A and B are shown apart, each in its own frame.
Chain A
Amino acid sequence: MSEPVRESMEFDVVIVGGGPAGLAAAIRLRQLSPQTSVCLIEKGSEIGAHILSGAVIEPRALAELLPDWRERGAPLNTPVTAEDMLYLTETGSIRVPMLDKVMPHMANHGNYIVSLGEVCRWLATQAEELGVEIYPGFAGSEVLIERNRVVGVATGDMGVGRDGKPGPNYQPGMELRGRYTLFAEGCRGSLTKQVMVHYDLRKGVDPQTYGLGIKEVWEIPAENHRPGLVQHSFGWPLDDKTYGGAWLYHFGDNLVSYGFVVGLDYANTWLSPFEEMQRVKLHPAFRHHLEGGRRISYGARALSEGGLQSVPRLTFPGGALIGDSAGFLNVPKIKGTHTSMKSGMLAAEAVVEAIKTDRVEPGSFTQKVRQSWLWQELRTARNIRPAFARFGAMGGAVYAGLDAMLLRGRAPWTLHFKHHDNETLRPADLCTKPFYPKPDGKLTFDRLSSVFLSATNHEEDQPVHLRLKNPSLWKTVNWDVFHAPEARYCPAGVYEVADEQSAPHLQINAQNCVHCKTCDIKDPTQNIDWTTPEGGGGPNYPAGM
């Protein structure tokens, strides 16, 4: 397209992404410096629309950010009251004893089961009260870099047709220029990816490794509801080499959050995270929680599992990476909200200092992170996920127990990730197909009826936002070698092989995309580029998600 005429607006700080990190940063900025203008954009149609997490959260960062969060009505209403960690076999389960000793990071005393979407909606109202300008429905589609400094972002054009030409309702994007820009896009942010490349932020750190979380919310009969119950599992149905497990939380008004995470470094090209997630519901340890209930919501999101070893350089001229864009998730704890929020708050402090001294790079952010409990936490946890990658599920669990009981996270060594997740798949003819039962329509479902519950929508007449850099690679690599793994790992049925018998080709149903970013991560040749679709598109997760 020819250079569009874009309007622009100047702010002190521009934040891309309205999740816990971005909102915490925005709130902290205005708390520390009420005259600092802060603009936050969010690609979801509203704050919370693209937020997906388990979620059990630790209120530590929240209490630092807004000590009176209870009085302000934060939606943390279901304290954890009971928890189990189960090792599943195909038909049975073994409860891990002395959980607080062998997996102290899993102890959830003082934590809350929440809908993170609801928490974010609430955080947004707090931020707006403090004067943060929040604009949901607008996707950051371009990083503005001038004289090697990030000077803001541009939102995407609206009303561009599928052919890439402006339609009758064309609206050019807008430049949101900031003295500092914070990228809080969550895991595998599309602008973050560009910034990392431009400033070589990943130099000298381990590759990031990811997981894919798929979640459903169920409404169950009141008599079966045990608010505060937390149950996690590992083992079946994944093989020993594949990292992952299920969660099940009872919370809210007769709601159950159920979900499954698979480490995206899995090797079996036939593995389907979606179907693994479905079939765990049939296991005796899970089934009775959901029976008699109805599924009311569905969604999926990738998460960063690399931890400390994979955290990139955090700052660059004109801004910083915060939250899961940087990869602050604490994997063994399976919690990232408190670390994300903490990173946002620390970045806000650094930015306020940088504004005062007119520094180009808010460099004190890195120092602040290293001196905070956030770093301590990630440091303690650093070897557990790589141990699973190296020793398998049982070995990893044993290592985790030893690490916790004997080393207390202070091991003198650090285990490293050797591979990118896209390099780990094995060719189709070397892998065994797992058996996935047909959906029963009661407890288990197919992809499309699941996506339906995510209320996902994209304006139809727009360019496909999932781009193959080299379309010819699909046949020779994805199909001939791996038999289209994207058709299985995509939890939304975006990728479909058409005319499989005669002339197989890839059909991309971009409209179904729930913005989980798995394809951007797992495609064997990194051939799929996830770009932001028109703002407001994607899932519309309700509160409760």
Chain B
Amino acid sequence: MTALVLLDHEGGQIRKAALSAVTAAARLGDVHVLVTGDAALAQAASQIAGVSKVLHAADARYAHELAEPLAALLVSLAGGYDHIVAAAGATGKNVLPRAAALLDVQPIPDVVSIVDAQTFVRPIYAGNALATVRSSDAKKVLTVRSASFDAAPAEGGSAPVEAVAVVESPDVSRFEAVQLSDSARPDLESARVVVSGGRGMGSEEKFHALDPLADVLGAAVGASRAAVDSGFVPNELQVGQTGKIVAPELYMAFGISGAIQHLAGMKDSRVIVAVNKDPEAPIFQVADYGIVGDLFEVVPQLAEALKK
């Protein structure tokens, strides 16, 4: 069996999440990848460990990964593949369902675990439940969660690159512009690292103690409801049941006790760190790493250690 992975890219780089999609696809069989953009991207794709063939769509109409032409291209290539896979990011979620519709296939988004070639596990109800689903479609179209599969090594492969021809598609969309957000202080919901404070921060002024640490990490700043209710920070920063739901690679909780309402907003984070004075704080029950101590001492020490 062979799987075709759509490799999405940003700023001339293949996204790390796409490398996780390669790992997932390798569980299903031989891995071919499709990449758009310039020759350097195709070259990078060929070096990913585990990739046996690179299909390169160099035409400019594919460069911005617009769904309309790209889905048509995928459909034209789909014949030889049992699985079509992409990372569950904005590109994969935009393109793959469209291609699936054209293939008369029900896509399977956000796969977190592969049971067998037909059977996959995916979260539903915002991760409150995990559904195991079996597809009866001849081809499977899936997007996979990068947090659930390690990234394939970017080096080590030497797959041949094959140019693919342009496929006609309705000319209905036009790329205009892109603005990438400031990576120094990213958006709470899309940040790779989130640094959050709770009532233990003490006051609006003292809450800023987190800023230097967030700067070093390029992290977004979040807060518990207690911190918001105490007036330390505005409501937009609230992480939790009634605030934002985040699932960063790293979530650091300072002075947050860890009420279930807060956990509901961050428990799917990959790694959780907690710093709290109270060794009994429930946050430690979900934290991968904890420090019992005064956050006003620990935070500057962390910022220093990270600079090294």
Q: Do chains A and B touch in the complex (CB under 8 A)?
A: yes
Q: Is the CB of A498 within 8 A of B199?
A: yes
Q: Say which residue of B229, B230, B260 sits within 8 Å of A452 (CB atoms).
A: B260
Rounded to whole Å, the gap between the CB of B252 and the closest CB of chain A is 22
The answer on a CB contact under 8 Å between B235 and A498 is no
Q: Quick check: A461 and B235 within 8 Å, CB to CB?
A: yes
Q: Is B13 an interface position by the 8 A CB rule?
A: no
Please pick, from A448, A457, A507, the residue contacting B229 in the complex, using a CB distance under 8 A. Answer: A507
Interface status of B148 (Cβ within 8 A of chain A): no
| A501 CB → nearest B CB, Å | 12
Say whether B241 contacts A460, CB under 8 Å: no
Known contacts A498-B199, A507-B230; A460/B242 CB under 8 A: yes
Q: Which of B229, B235, B260 contacts A509 (CB 8 A)?
A: B229
User: B242 touching A511 by the CB < 8 A rule?
Assistant: yes
Interface size on A, residues (CB 8 A): 11
Closest residue on chain A to residue B262 by CB atoms: A448
Residues of chain A from 287 to 334 with CB closer than 8 A to chain B in the complex: none
Residues of B24-68 at the interface with A, using a CB-CB cut-off of 8 Å, are none
- The residue in chain B whose Cβ has the minimal distance to the Cβ of A511 is B242
Question: Which residues of B in the span 229-266 have a Cβ within 8 Å of any Cβ on A?
Answer: 229-230, 235, 241-242, 259-261, 264
Complex Cα gap A498–B232 (Å): 14
Q: In terms of DSSP, what is the predominant structure of the interface of chain B?
A: helix
8 A Cβ contacts from A64-121 to B: none
Check A449 for interface membership: any CB of B closer than 8 A. Answer: yes
| Nearest-neighbor residue (CB-CB) of A162 within chain B | B235
Are the CB atoms of A460 and B235 closer together than 8 Å?
yes
Number of interface residues of B (CB under 8 A): 11
Chain B residue nearest in CB terms to A447:
B259
Interface residues of A, dominant DSSP: mixed
List of B residues within 8 angstroms of A509 by Cβ? 225, 229
Is there an interface contact between B242 and A452, defined as CB atoms closer than 8 Å? no
* Chain A residue with the shortest CB-CB distance to B235: A460
List the B side residues contacting A457 at CB < 8 Å: 242
Minimum distance in angstroms from B48 CB to a CB of chain A? 43
Tell me which residues across on chain B come within 8 A of A507, comparing CB atoms: 229-230
Query: How far is it, in angstroms, between the C-alpha of A452 and the C-alpha of B263 when the chains are bound?
Result: 11
- Taken together as a complex, chains A and B put the C-alpha atoms of A457 and B261 apart, in Å, by 11
> What string of 1s and 0s marks CB contacts (under 8 Å) between B217-237 and chain A?
000000001000110000100
In the assembly, what is the distance between CA of A208 and CA of B185, in Å?
57
Across-interface contacts of B229 in A (CB, < 8 A): 507, 509
Please give, as numbers and ranges, the residues of chain B lying within 8 Å of A449 by CB-CB distance.
259-260
- The answer to whether A452 and B261 have CB atoms under 8 Å apart is yes
* B242 touching A498, Cβ below 8 Å: no
Which residues of A lie under 8 Å from residue B230 when comparing CB positions? 498, 507
**A292, chain B: closest CB distance, angstroms:** 21
Q: Name B259's closest neighbour in chain A (CB-CB).
A: A448
Shortest Cβ distance from A298 into chain B, in angstroms? Answer: 12
- Whole-angstrom CA separation of A460 from B228 in the bound complex: 10
In the complex, what distance in Å separates the CA atom of A509 from the CA atom of B241?
14
Complex CA–CA separation, A102 to B229 (angstroms) = 52
* Assembled-state Cα–Cα distance A460/B261 (Å): 14
Q: Mark A191-233, 1 if CB is under 8 A from B, else 0.
A: 0000000000000000000000000000000000000000000
The residues of A that contact B235 with a CB separation of less than 8 Å are 460-461
Q: Which residues of B contact A452 (CB under 8 A)?
A: 241, 260-261, 264
In the complex the two chains form, what is the Cα distance from A461 to B225 in whole Å?
Answer: 13
- Output the least CB separation between A512 and chain B (Å): 9
Taking beta carbons and an 8 Å cutoff, which residues of A are in contact with B? 448-449, 451-452, 457, 460-461, 498, 507, 509, 511
B residues near A, CB below 8 A? Answer: 199, 225, 229-230, 235, 241-242, 259-261, 264
Q: List 17 A-B contacts (CB under 8 A).
A: A448-B259, A448-B260, A448-B261, A449-B259, A449-B260, A451-B261, A452-B241, A452-B260, A452-B264, A457-B242, A460-B235, A460-B242, A461-B235, A498-B230, A507-B229, A511-B225, A511-B242
Contacts A448-B260, A449-B260, A452-B241 known; 4 new A-B pairs at CB < 8 A: A448-B259, A457-B242, A507-B229, A511-B225
